[in-house]
Amino acid sequence: MSSAPARAAGRLGALLAGFVPVGVFGILLLLAIGEWGLAAGVLFGSAIAAAAAWILVRLIARFVALRWLAATMTAIALVITVLSLF
């Protein structure tokens, strides 16, 4: 039986880790648009980015350490973004 803070930490880690595949999808899509132009970049970039995001979701769901790594990366990106505003 786990305590309430441990359950909350697990939910927070899963929540933060959920942003990583979305971010990877967006980055790959933007790179594809920049490389191949708007029409071809959206068409092929969406397929490539969706496959990469799906693989990441499966890996993050399977490995707890990878979930925490993804959550840490997201938290660091959020802190850097907020600090860059000031």
Extract long-range pairs of 34-39: CB within 8 Å, 24+ residues apart: none
pLDDT tens digits along 33-82: 999 999 999 999 999 999 999 999 999 889 988 888 999 998 898 899 89
- The first and second tokens of residue 65, run together, are 């350490």
Estimate to the nearest angstrom the gap between the alpha carbon of 31 and the chain centroid. Answer: 16
| Exposed / middle / buried, residue 49 (Cβ in 10 Å: 0-12, 13-18, 19+) | buried
With contact defined as beta carbons under 8 Å apart, do 45 and 29 qualify?
yes
pLDDT tier, 2 (very low <50, low <70, confident <90, very high otherwise): low
